[in-house]
Amino acid sequence: MNGEGAAIATDKSKIGNQTERLSRVEKLIRTVSEQMERTRIADYALLLNKPWRLLWLNLISGVSRGIGIALGFTFFAATIIYVLQVLGALNLPIIGDYIADIVRIVQRQLELTTY
């Protein structure tokens, strides 16, 4: 009876170890699964299987970036020209002449129609 009890205890400890290992493996698999969901690998794989959709999305993103850059540069340039005009109106020695020349050149360029 003593031998049977030891065998049963050994079997129970093996089962307990296997259950513990399986729970650790399950946790690791869930962690990897959650990380893959966060990186959206499935969406990326689907996108690679549809090359026309990939081209369309890249075209739209390129056009929107181009428009954004053009608008941003226009705003920035207009702000700089306005600041230069204000500084030119202050009649600062030396600097005021250079600023006035730059403003005149820009205004002359804007008045020209090259198309």
Contact 81, 103 (CB under 8 A): yes
Element (H, E) at 9: helix 2-39
Residue 99, C-beta contacts closer than 8 angstroms, at least 6 positions apart: 84, 87, 88, 92
DSSP assigned state of 98? H
pLDDT at 22 over 80: yes
Contact 108, 83 (CB under 8 A): no
Query: What are the tens digits of pLDDT across the range 57-104?
Result: 999 999 999 999 999 999 999 998 888 788 777 777 777 777 778 888
pTM attached to this predicted model: 0.47
- pLDDT recorded at residue 94: 73
